[in-house]
Amino acid sequence: MKTTYLLLILFFLGFGFANGQTEISDTKKDTLVVGYNINAPFIYEKDGKLQGVNYRMWQKITENDNTFYKFKNYPLDKLLLGLTNGSIDIGLSPLTITGERIKKIDFSIPYYVSHSAVITNKISTADKFKSFFSSISIINLLKVLSILFTLLAVFGGLVWYFERKKNDEFGEGLKGFWNGLWWSAVTMTTVGYGDKSPKTVGGRIVGLIWMFAAIFLISSITAGITSSLTVKKLGWTNNDLSSFKDITIGTINKSATEKILQNNYWNNLKSYHSMDELLQGLIKGEVQAATHDDPILRYAVNNNEAYKDFIFLDLKFNQSFYSIGFSKKMNLNKKEEISKRIFDFTESNNWKLLLTKNNLIEKQNLMLETN
């Protein structure tokens, strides 16, 4: 009898242990892997906890969800690869929808519209002048100086011709011609010493013509120097992306920005695995400019004292639609359900407040949208 009881106890213990094992196994099997890549302010880690716009949105849309989720951090290239092969179910980082990606992974509805921006180091005044003079060709400089001295000599000579016999301030001969040249230079530069001035009708007519011509000449030279000091350092213009092809520009590996540059035959392109690596590369001079999604780039620059010397150029390109990524192997109903929740949440005022708190939209825009 005791043997029978002992066998029964062992049987139930064994059954309970087997059921416990099955429950653990099923839980693991049903748990969805949520991968993310650090992309502040959308998703980042602080004090060992996930933070950011996307994480807060995820908390809201899954607060009544009974599904188990497991969060794991990946580099962007590994995150995209995991979504492609099905080892990752959901990509929580802001993923730009591209034609190439959509063939391999599925996307939720877009929740944010962005674009790529470009930053570079601030240019010191000394560097500006050094760059300007190093960019000037000797031949072009000699041409400009030749034209300038020719004009000075022509107008100085004409004034001397009219004034030489009737104005002692100029005088005869070579000395008189030199006085005419001196007057011409003083007039052109608007110094206005007043030591010499034409008194004859012919001299004053020449002087009047030279005054207006000199204004135009000096303005042109000043504008040319200013323009050169602004754009010569890297050889680009602030509103023409193609002018960046002559310099080395950095971006994030496997990002949509990298793809658009590669598709446009960018040869001098250097890719980095993280934002910090990219910005450090710009500091070290490995690249002369950096480009990535504007809100992510701006957040990184504005929240780190080490990057205070970076400036944003007046250049925007590659409009991007941010979305959550899904593995194509993931249950279709679940993807549709998450997409619908994202849509409902982004239509709410809580979403706009979340964007405002993270400086992704201005408070005045929020007021306009809510009125």
Q: What is the CATH number of the domain that holds 172?
A: 1.10.287.70
Indicate if 107 and 147 belong to the same structural domain: no
Distances (CA, A) of 160 to 5, 83, 227, 236, 277: 133, 84, 36, 46, 66
Beta strands in the chain (DSSP E): 32-36, 44-46, 49-51, 69-73, 90-96, 106-107, 112-121, 249-252, 269-272, 289-293, 310-326
Indicate if 178 and 218 belong to the same structural domain: yes
Angle, to 10 degrees, between the axis of helix 332-346 and the axis of helix 53-61? 110
Indicate if 74 and 38 belong to the same structural domain: yes
Indicate if 30 and 68 belong to the same structural domain: yes
**pLDDT given for residue 136 in this prediction:** 62
**How many folded domains does the chain comprise?**
2
Residue 146 is assigned to a structural domain of this protein:
yes
Most distant CA pair in the chain: distance in Å?
148
Indicate if 131 and 209 belong to the same structural domain: yes
Residue 250 is assigned to a structural domain of this protein:
no
Residue 98 is assigned to a structural domain of this protein:
yes
Residue 21 is assigned to a structural domain of this protein:
no
**pLDDT given for residue 310 in this prediction:** 93
Domain boundary among 231, 263, 296: 231
**pLDDT given for residue 246 in this prediction:** 78
**Boundaries of domain holding 202:** 127-231
Q: What is the CATH number of the domain that holds 105?
A: 3.40.190.10
- For the chain, which residues score pLDDT lower than 50? 1-27, 231-237, 363-371
**pLDDT given for residue 319 in this prediction:** 92
Residue 254 is assigned to a structural domain of this protein:
no
Domain boundary among 206, 231, 256: 231
**pLDDT given for residue 370 in this prediction:** 40
Residue 18 is assigned to a structural domain of this protein:
no
Residue 76 is assigned to a structural domain of this protein:
yes
Indicate if 98 and 144 belong to the same structural domain: no
Indicate if 82 and 162 belong to the same structural domain: no
Residue 350 is assigned to a structural domain of this protein:
yes
**pLDDT given for residue 304 in this prediction:** 92
pLDDT tens for residues 147-191?
A: 888 888 898 889 888 888 888 788 888 888 888 888 888 888 878
Indicate if 223 and 139 belong to the same structural domain: yes
Indicate if 82 and 148 belong to the same structural domain: no
Indicate if 131 and 225 belong to the same structural domain: yes
Fill in the DSSP letter of residue 306.
Answer: G
Indicate if 95 and 185 belong to the same structural domain: no
Indicate if 135 and 216 belong to the same structural domain: yes
Domain boundary among 165, 197, 231: 231
**pLDDT given for residue 364 in this prediction:** 37
**pLDDT given for residue 25 in this prediction:** 30
